[in-house]
Amino acid sequence: MTQPSTAHQSLPATLSWLPGPHTGLSPITGWTRSHWEATADHWLEHIRTYSSPLKASPRLPGRVTRDGERREGMETIGRSLLMAAPRIAGARGQDRLGLAAWYREALLAGTDPDGAERWPMGVTCKSPLLGVTNSIVEAANIAFSLHIARDWLWEPLASGEKKQVAEWLRHHARLEVWGNNWQLFPAMAEGFLRSVGEDVSGCTGARNVARVESWYLGDGWYTDGPEHAIDYYNAWAIHPYLWAWYSMTGREDTPEGLRQLERLREFVGTQSLMFAADGAVVHVGRSLANRTAVLAALWCAEISGVNPLTPGATRRLASGVLANFTAKGVGVDGPPNLGWYDEHLGSCQAYSGFGSPYLAGIGFLGLALPPEHKVWQDVEEPQPTDGPAVVRPLPDAGWILSSDGGLVRLTNHGSDHCGLPVEGGTDPDDPHYAKFSYSTHTAPGTGPAWEENIDGHLALLGSDGVASRRCALRATRTEGSISGSVHVPQLYGKSLPGTAVTTVSVVDGIHELRCHLVIGPVEFSVREGGHAVAGAARLKAGKTEDTSWVSNGGVFASVTAVYGWQEPDHTHYKGANAMGEHSAVPSLSAQRAVVETVHVALHTLTRGPAPVPESLKAAAAVVVSGTEVSVTWASGASQSFDLRTFVPWDGQVGR
């Protein structure tokens, strides 16, 4: 069994409010329900510390978006209520902090059309120029929370008060919204109104739900809209809101409702492989300041009785995540900030303000389960990645999840996010979707690192040195431990004429063999980057004749030239990574003499003992013959494939 977590031994001294570890019930993390309650109470106390007079518009420290403080205050209430609701419901009337009464006052002040702290009213989302739309999101969060703690948040309201809140929800339930997970926000508002017998004429919740369900891929995963953007919105929006909608509308026992529960079960089974033994979470996708919201679907599955994990494994996984963030200082000395561990605005979206991180509260949904529930009483058991190495392909998502006990790596040949422009540029791409690999202990470079676009990427470089973007994937294929994709490189917002890149990855333990078939004019050189590693101080880095490596003393990343590469290098950054102030990335580069070239590199990523760089080539014996690649690993595994045919596509190069 995995040894007990050292999280408590390294907790900041300011955590006097947190109980000591309970190693009898929780031998791995030391965390029990009392730790969750104490953390929720502490985070919610921040809300009241910064409260406004009528409670509807708290002003927390942190950034204000262009929509203004009134919008941020509304978001703070809507999102923190996601944490307060299960805390209230699980207490079964023993609300010693008076949370229910406090939030009822906030709801009434915010929904009062003539009140001094009234919230902005959402408008139809057909253009970002139509005004503040975030109240649509918060209407969904509030509806979800009212559903979870209905007996304490809704039922005590007077008839006129219910009418006021219902009218505010109904306004948002009738709106048209963006074609992604937002489709579920009006459905949430409608679902709650329907559950309490309110008028739902003019609402389109069933249609919206059907749209989202049409984006289903497999293994429990949905794309976030018709684009191929796969991310944690599955965990903190799509699955929880579908789960709540079927419950609120009384359709959980219909064929569609039962199908949703089966998909929820499958999702938890695969998502549970994205958490390392120390509680670190694979750092991929947007809105990552939501942090523990990544646990919401896990709790939904447990509440509904479809969880593939045992209660002891469920608490171990969830507590490991919360303990890890807490040990890193999140929500300790003030409200959770915009970042991952420390504040890092470079990894946050422009629409995120000071209240945004409180969506983390939906990850506390397990507190709605009573103290006597098995998830709180059973002895902790190992989570799926505590044991031996795991390799799990998700062919419909184009992902491979692999772990070696120390960290988890996600090999990405399925997800992109090419529907929205990146700030400061015209290329529709995003570092949290565009990389070939992500992990629990590394993060993609942002700011200047994203501009240079070295880490996790194969770039074509022109004479000006500007790197091409991956942008939209044209085709993907995943078979077992082999995964590949095709993209047409873009530069300055346009496809590069006559270019295409096919990339195939093979994973084995701490290694990934990444192979590229590059078609393009010979004047473009190529560059390959490994994982960006970050830390509090400047990282150690080095290179040999064929290997470049970087290390923060705990995480080691390297790239080793196997075929078609000429020059190892490494690049350092400051303030460009969510994992730490200093970061560095190893890389390889090569000139090209013909229009079609093959490049093969061994990527190594580990939290174990750092390998000797000179020995890395011995990890795999690789033979390249034209576009055919064969690899035999030191572990004994072997694979062969043809770069030209492994990923089926129409062969259309950039035009």
The 10s digit of each residue's pLDDT in 154-204 is 999 999 999 999 999 999 999 999 999 999 999 999 999 999 999 999 999
Q: Which whole number is the average pLDDT over 137-165?
A: 98
CATH 1.50.10.20 is the classification of domain 8-386: yes
10-14, 155-159, 440-444, 530-534: lowest mean pLDDT where?
10-14
The Cα 489–Cα 512 span in angstroms is 22
User: ∠ CA 527-530-536 to the nearest 5 degrees?
Assistant: 125
What is the model's pLDDT at position 131? 57
User: ∠ CA 278-572-471 to the nearest 5 degrees?
Assistant: 80
Q: DSSP 3-state assignment of 27?
A: coil
- What is the overall mean pLDDT for the chain? 93
DSSP line for 169-186: HHHHHT----SSGGGHHH
- Give how far Cα 89 sits from Cα of 95, 98, 161, 459, 496, Å: 9, 12, 21, 52, 56
What is the model's pLDDT at position 358? 98
Q: Which of the pair, 355 or 8, is modelled with greater confidence? A: 355
Q: Which of the pair, 123 or 378, is modelled with greater confidence? A: 378
What is the model's pLDDT at position 461? 96
132 — pLDDT class (breaks 50, 70, 90): low
pLDDT of 9 above 50: no
> Which candidate, 418, 389, 591, 349, places its Cα nearest to that of 507?
389
Q: Please write the tens of the pLDDT for every residue from 26-47.
A: 999 999 999 999 999 999 999 9
pLDDT of 209 above 60: yes
253-267, 339-353, 408-422: lowest mean pLDDT where?
408-422
69-83, 425-439, 511-525, 567-581: lowest mean pLDDT where?
425-439
What is the model's pLDDT at position 428? 66
Residues 6+ apart with CB under 8 A from 372: none
For the range 212-217, what are the long-range contacts, defined as Cβ-Cβ under 8 Å and sequence gap of 24 or more? 212/181, 212/183, 212/184, 212/238, 212/242, 213/242, 213/256, 213/260, 216/263, 217/396, 217/397
Q: Spell out the domain ranges in the chain.
A: 8-386, 392-642
What is the model's pLDDT at position 165? 98
CATH 3.10.450.50 is the classification of domain 392-642: no
Q: Please write the tens of the pLDDT for every residue from 100-111.
A: 999 999 999 999
- Give how far Cα 241 sits from Cα of 74, 183, 300, Å: 20, 10, 10
- Give how far Cα 271 sits from Cα of 36, 281, 309, 385, 509, Å: 21, 10, 11, 11, 19
